[in-house]
Structure 1
Amino acid sequence: MDGSSNKQVGGAGIVLLSPKGDTIECMVHLDFPATNNESEYEALIARLNLAKAAGATRVVIYCDSQVITNQINGDYECKGERMKRYLDQVRARVDDLEAKIVQIPRGENEQADRLAKATSAEHMVIPGNVLSFVQLSPLIDPSNMQEIGSDSSWTTPLVSYLKDGVLLEGKEAARKLKVQAARFVLIKDVLYKRGFSRPYLRCLGTEEAEYVMREVHEGICGNHSWSKSLVHKLVRARYYWPTMQKDAETYVRTYDKCQRFNNIIRQPTKELTPMPAPWPFAQWGLDIMGPFLIAIRQLKFLVVGIDYFTKWVEAEILATITEKNVRNFVWRCIICRFGIPRVFVLDNERQFDNDSFQDFCS
């Protein structure tokens, strides 16, 4: 295996050689910026994944990178945080295989080096009979890191039960799996969800779901629809996974362009109008609240006064909110206690906006 990188992208070249002489060539296009060492680690991880998928139990890995080889063998110390995460990913996979990593001169790694450089080129040319993949993000990203040997998808228990009759451990878990499996069907090793009066829906794992959701939302035919519309489009496209609604809401809520250009009223900024209170109890705000639940003596309204300087609150419960009751409240609770104020701040309610209350204020 070998890795290659430039300023924009990286590439990995892998050659699998069986004891019988069968050869498989593979190119992995790394669609993200990566250093040479990161590309080497990406190539190594892809090499181990392919070997495990091919059913290998023992592998010998030939690599021309002295740094990578010695870090894995423990001769070099791994200092960078990203390199440590890559090293952990490699060691987790090496534990599942009887693997040996050998450093070879660059001249003996010509075949893998040629594939890596062709993959990281600006215009990638794929030769015939060569496997090719596109990787959108580093394998050490949290979204791509999965525990080795664990169920990597919600479809795994369903596929195992429908295909081989394998149930989960525990009586209750097995019962729930049987009930859930009745709503699914396995066609040519592909899981579909049954539907009432609608076609079968293709069940997607996490990575597939993210890709499909991104294409429907912002692809060549996407219109950046909101979450509910996005879910309806995914169902019409015959896809399904259990957390469609939640994932769509999260995706749309965090999508930058949708937040920038969403149809939200954005009034131009203006300077705030200050309402200064020169001294305590010189400026009061009056308002009426209610009706509330009826209390004793049919009390159900509140008339409230707040001093702008001290934030002191005066309130009284009323059965009716007539102009006379409001005027008596102002006289008893404000003027008789704190003196004649300088300003009353009122709204246009009829208890305040009338000749009698204005004459009283005068």
Structure 2
Amino acid sequence: MKKMADGSIGADGSDEAILWRQTKVDLAARALGGDVLSASDDFFAEKDNLLLDSEPVFLPEKYTAYGKWMDGWESRRRRTGDHDWVIVRLATHGMVEGVEVDTRHFKGNAPGAVQLEYIASESDPDEQSQWQTMSARMAVEADHRNLIRLDQPVEATHIRLTIFPDGGVARLRVYGKILFNTQHLLPNEPVDLSALMNGARPVSCSDAFFSPMQNLLRPGRGADMHDGWETRRRRTGGHDWMVIRLASPGKVGRVEIDTLHFKGNYPDRGSLEGCYFEGEVPDDKTDWHPILSEQKLHAHRNHSFVENLKNTQEIYTHVRLNIFPDGGVSRLRVIGQPESAK
């Protein structure tokens, strides 16, 4: 059992951290635009490793001119009684719900404790920045996925992780929700209501065996099959699906289903439904409306649908992508008019 940052006692933090990694948005992800700005010291292992999308690894035989190679950020041993720190700029404004300080493979060289601070600013921090406490100084475990859950979400653009007194951290994940920003939208400008960067987020799916749900909503086109949403092969009938909470309630004008890189494992067909639901995850009583009826899909292709769409004057808060029977989709785009921009 492990004491959490909010004082509660729960199951091993690694289990919950794995769940958060699969279901929540990492606001610091480099794929979304997160960046490591500075660090007090990264003598043994570079600070930029903190935001790598890959899981940390340990290579017993690998050394560098500075010492043992480690997959993370590691400072030298302090002899002055001070502490080390690193500053991360988040991909965009967001509401931070929790932070994972992953010390996997750092067994005899992990920090003894950490503290988290934040600011919300359009500018990068400087010596005059007024950092606010996100979590008080707390002990962390070595070789462990330490999940720090916040009592209340905080709006942030930058995070400062302080480690006491020194040591190594493999990965830093900042979990939360991206805020939908309409400040720079033109009147009646179409918006990708399903874009992760606009604040959309997946809330449930039938299966995400090969990759996390949020990959489907990432910016740009997928880099490879790993950078998409792929389900396992169905052997019992039925079909796979994913439910997405849109960045804003709105009308749908165009749908894109991109199967880039999925050549022998793309879905045979796809469809889209929508609903209006006040909560996070629509329940069994939710009335779903067809937006796009079943359409034949093809390998390694971006499919765009406009004329085939139905119920385009309805306002939706959620959409459900159905794929038949299973397979992989690189990206989903739901282009429309956000209600909040009117």
**TM-score calculated relative to the size of structure 1:** 0.22
Kindly name which structure, 1 or 2, has the bigger radius of gyration based on alpha carbons: 1
Which of the pair is proportionally richer in helix?
Answer: 1
Greater relative contact order (Cα 8 A, min sep 6): structure 1 or 2? 2
Which of the pair is proportionally richer in strand?
Answer: 2
**TM-score calculated relative to the size of structure 2:** 0.23
